[in-house]
Amino acid sequence: MKLKNFIFKKNKSYIFKILKINEFTKDFLNLLKKGKTDFDKFQKYLKDIELKKLSNFLFFLRVLDFRLWEFPQNWHFKNEKEFYGLLLKTKNLFKIDLDKIDFSIFKKLISSKENENLAKLRYKIFKQSLNWLNKNYDGDFINYFEENKKPLNFCLNLLQLEKFKDYYKNFYFLKPNQLLYLELIIGNKLEKKFKNELEELTIFADYKLPQLFINFNLIDLPTNILDKIKNRKIIKIHSILENELRWASIIIGESLSKKINLPSYLIDNLIWDLANKIYLKIYHPKIKTIFY
């Protein structure tokens, strides 16, 4: 079974209880089409990483990428911020033997400006992932990829790790799982070889997508819920609202993919580009999660 089919089959009969999905307009489609992907920038930042360390670097980059909104100043690094700030900081980890990194080193290099509790959680997940990699794959993530080249196998077998258990009941979002697969292919410049496999991926459902869709009225919410998001109130993880926002994002993303005739992973990248270029009236939904 293909990954996309698995994800939709799990939740094919779900009926939305809170939100409503509206049709997208031609204006929105035209705006989206003007966007661009940032794969060139991503590959550029990977050029100075040794090839033998590249797969591990991409693995730990995805392991560490969560809740970057909570202490945004922590990810301002060398003229970058957010994900690319994290990427540059992660490079510093790879100047040291990963097995020798204790919490004090980790906090100094990665979490210097975020609070102790979040830093400890990030470090815990880092150590769990490192121990798993050492125990099962001789400390090299490329060995995992060699055993799991199909997207479905790759994503589901990562459920061994806490960081990648991105599902709840019948909602299989698998955001970090799928994004790691994509980044591994892009980072190793295997796009042509794995073209069909990449087309099995769905939208990578996190906070930025519903933010954009709410702003363009593709997702319609009750006034009290909308006010909660506008006022930056925390939304409970695995709540009906969080699940519906993410599931609606996947459905809308897949519709856009068919309409524009581009694979879902490219649609996702165009949405991110658009969201970062324009002013959004509504703040993104805030969820304390390790999955995005």
Tens of pLDDT along 122-142?
Answer: 999 999 999 999 999 999 999
Question: Is residue 37's pLDDT more than 90?
Answer: no
pLDDT at 38 over 90: no
Q: Compute the distance between CA of residue 20 and CA of residue 261 in angstroms, rounded to an integer.
A: 24
Give residues with Cβ within 8 angstroms of 54, minimum separation 6.
46, 187, 188
CA distance 281 to 230: 8
Is pTM, for the whole model, over 0.95? yes
Percent of residues, the chain, with pLDDT higher than 70: 100
Whether 176 shows a pLDDT value over 90: the answer reads yes
**Residue type present at position 128:** Q
What pLDDT sits at residue 162? 98
Task: Taking residues 72-97, report their average pLDDT.
Answer: 97
Residue from 94, 68, 90 nearest 81 by CA: 68
Instruction: Give whole-number Cα distances, 5 to 40, 248, 254, in Å.
Output: 29, 16, 12
